[in-house]
Structure 1
Amino acid sequence: MAVVRSAWQRLRELDPRLLDGGLAGALFLAAAAQMLASGPEQALRLPAVAGTTLPLIWRRRYPLRCYLVQFLSALLTLERPALAVLLALFVGLYSAGAYGARPLLTLAAPLGSSLVLLLLFPSANPPLPAWGLQLVAGLGVWVAGMAVRERQARLRAVEERARQLERERGLAARVAVADERARIARELHDVIAHSVSVMVVQAGAARRLLGRQPDRAGEAMREVEGSGREALTELRRLLGVLAERPDELVLAPQPGLDQLDALVGRVDAAGVPVDVRIVGTPRPLPPGLDLTAYRVVQEALTNVMKHAAGARTEVLVEYGERDLRLAVVDGGGTRAATAGAGAGRGLLGMQERVAAYGGHVEAGVLPEGGFAVRARLPMEEPA
């Protein structure tokens, strides 16, 4: 049995055109040998034999045409066909059912059945049982072809669905990678940009004060050192989250509005005076929402240091019943913007963070001068 299965598998791997050509040739030779064995005069019928067997070479590509050629060749020229001719006709009928165009399939069964009857019973009154047997045989072959056709169609549909799912998985994976890259870029920006901005401002102040007020220059450099250490700590935490091994994770609480005073203190020490106003009763926020609120204020203050250095700034945190409102408003810079200051990524990341919680951000230049960032974050109703 294993040998048979192996041989069948090898046959299925061959080119179908080669198999069809071999089948047509074998049936032609078998039919010709049987007919010539009856007498030399049967050689005149070889063209009809060729017409009923050799079209099988194209049975997959032109199934109905192939079968019609077989039908006409057998119907017009043969009286008592060889067994190989009958087999060829049944193969053609099967191929019409398996590979033919659907609207034309209904023609194959009656044509095939009629042909079989005429070939086996040329008299006008064939025996009824034999007539019924041949009709059932013809229809059975056609139905078998149809069944194979439907099975192949289902297999193709399943394969196409599998390919579609694979494409969708690939697309989803690419989208996930892009989203993850954007998230990492946003986190790196939020973690590094603020601390580096403070360091740049303080380093510039230290350079200007170094010759005239060394004590204040030293204080500014200590602020640079502190901001650098904070940036390294945040960077280690972020890299720990991205680490592949769980034991490499650096566990630390995420910043929130409870650290707002420390944030404002660093900005104020960098030369940007900040006033904080709290409206409403502060209450604990969900960790993700708390982090988002902190990042919004942090990014807005970072932009003040970059683009409006020295401007007096007001930070408003308003706790409402259903939402949290944030505002960072500066009065316009009094010194040149920090060298290399850019724009775009921070505000975009801020909008993405807030949108994830169903909120929105507004940012723009004020008519009287200065710049304002306002955000609204929906909160759960208090219990």
Structure 2
Amino acid sequence: MTLPRPHRVDLLIALAGLATGVLLWSFGLYTTGGRLFDERWAALVPLAVMAGAEALRRVAPQTALAVGTLAIVADQFTNGNLATVLMFTDIVYAAVVYGTPGQARRIPYTTALVTVGTTVAFLVWWQNAFALLVGVITGIVSFLPAVTGSIVRNHREAAESARLRAEQTALLAEIDRAQAVVAERARMARELHDMVANHLSAIAIHSTAALSLDDPGTTRQALTVIRENSVAGLAEMRRLIGLLRESGAETEPAATASLAGLDALVEQARTNGSASGLRFTLDDARREGPGLPAPVELAAYRIVQESLTNALKHAAPGEVRVALAHEEGALRVTVTSPYGQRPGPRAPGSGAGLVGMRERVALLEGSLEAGLEAGDGDGDGDAKVWRVRAVLPVGASEEEERA
């Protein structure tokens, strides 16, 4: 088995321990005397082996502990060296700090059993208090370093866990921030499209009519509609800019679109669509009572607004009907417009309006259907209509208030 390359710091510790041991040996400073191997050179063998194990304390702690244990046992049969004992305590400490989790749990218990066993054995053998001193020394050499290593390892693991939790918290915060930014960008895109597209579509249609028809009356009427929509669009843009600014102490909250403005919205559509042969009707069958939740009213208003804008762009001459009903715990919005060949100018579409409507309905956990359907059988024959149906849940609490 090839051992990994020792850490530079561990090599320095091993060399320092070996040099200290040699220095003590040269002065004849031993820990004991009169042992089995009483030759002067014998104490250097465990010292050199212990220094080699010390070099592996970090990269191979289990191997270092096994070799160090053999060396400290061998040292007891020589005159002994204090540096050998000190390096063994460091090896026990390192085995707990750098070893596997299982090894770190077992070593303190093992050294405790060794300390107790050694004390009991010497008490039985010597039957005097000196055996207790041997037990204390054994605990200092083995059990105390193991407990110290366990404390240090627990602190390091706690610090690492805290660091990982901090990183995870920062990552989650960044994800939440990114999601909030995306959601806010989507909300602003919906608001910008819903507020401005209606006015710009009317301006595009009537400006095209004014340029293509050489009729002073038609041109004047088109310019009047263009001016009205330009002023209204500018007001809507200013309101949106006000929403995007940071609110200050003197800033008043901007008004939110609601179903109370549907009459004005439909009247504006009549003005914009009269030149295209479109008629607009509003059938509001909601029950009298407290107003709906603000998010529901805003979503319903924007759905009607976008549907009327699409009718101005694409609908054939005929009646555009807007119907609202509040039943079964939900607000139902239906907008029907005639489908077919359209005379006169048309405004291009991008499809963003339907996407915005679906997003608004999804946020309220409602449903939306939009597509071609057969006519209502009111004299149109096989004519088809474009119908938008939205179901917006009101919520149980709102229903209880109405009851």
Q: Do Structure 1 and Structure 2 share a fold, with TM-score over 0.5?
A: yes
**Matches of residues 176-255 of structure 1 in structure 2 within 5 Å?**
176-209=180-213, 211-212=214-215, 214-244=216-246, 246=248, 249=251, 251-255=253-257
- Cα deviation for residue 175 of structure 1 reads 0.7
1:237, 1:250 within 8 Å by CA — same for their partners in 2?
Answer: no
SS in 1 for 2:322: strand
Pair 354,69 (structure 1): closer, same or farther in 2 beyond 3 Å:
same
SS state at 1:84 partner: helix
In the superposition, the TM-score normalised over structure 1's length comes to 0.84
Give yes or no for the alignment of 1:348 onto 2:355. yes
Mapping of residues 303-382 of structure 1, within 5 Å: 303-320=310-327, 322-335=329-342, 338-343=346-351, 345-368=352-375, 369-379=384-394, 380-381=398-399, 382=402
Distance in 1 between residues matched to 2:323 and 2:67, nearest whole Å: 89
Aligned-partner Cα distance in 1 for 2:316–2:269? 10
8 Å CA contact 1:282–1:319 kept in 2: the answer is: no
Structure 2 segments unaligned to the other structure (5+ residues): 1-5, 30-38, 376-383
Shift of 1:307: 2.7
How many residues align? The count is: 363
Residue 171 of structure 1: how far off its partner (Å): 0.7
Query: Which of 294, 297, 310 is equivalent to 1:290?
Result: 297
**CA offset at residue 354 of structure 1?**
2.6
Q: Is this contact kept in 1: 2:21–2:82, CA < 8 A?
A: yes
Identify which range, 269-278 or 147-156, moves more after superposition.
269-278
Between 172-181 and 105-114, report the one with greater CA deviation: 105-114
Residues 219-264 of structure 1: CA deviation (Å, up to 9, x unaligned): 1211111111111111111111111352785754323222222222
4+ runs deviating over 6 angstroms: 115-118
Distance 1:107 1:317, change over 3 A: closer
CA distance in 2, matches of 1:25, 1:116: 33
2:10 to 20, 26, 38: 20
Q: Which residue of 2 aligns with 1:259?
A: 261
Q: Residue 259 of structure 2 contacts residue 300 of structure 2 at CA under 8 Å; is this kept in 1?
A: yes
User: In the TM superposition, what is the alpha-carbon distance from 1:114 to its structure 2 partner?
Assistant: 5.6
Report the identity percentage: 30
* Kept after mapping to 1: 8 A contact 2:111/2:139: no
Deviates more, 1:41-50 or 1:135-144: 41-50
Question: Could you tell me how far 1:357 is from its partner in structure 2?
Answer: 3.0
Report if aligned partners of 2:115, 2:143 keep a CA contact under 8 Å in 1. no
Kindly state the Cα deviation for residue 280 of structure 1 after the two structures are TM-superposed. 4.0
Which residue in the other structure is 1:275 paired with? 281
AA aligned opposite 1:92: I
Where 1:366 maps in the other structure, the secondary structure is: strand
Do structure 1's residue 156 and structure 2's residue 160 form an aligned pair?
yes
Structure 1: tracts of 5 or more residues without a match = 1-15
**Alignment partner, residue 136 of structure 2:** 133
Partner of 2:83: 84
The alpha-carbon deviation at position 117 of structure 1 amounts to 10
What amino acid sits opposite 1:136 in the alignment?
Answer: G
TM-score of the aligned structures, taking structure 2 as reference length: 0.80
In structure 1, the residue corresponding to 2:335 is in which secondary structure?
strand
- What is the Cα-based RMSD across aligned positions, in Å? 3.1
What is the one-letter code of the residue matched to 2:72? A
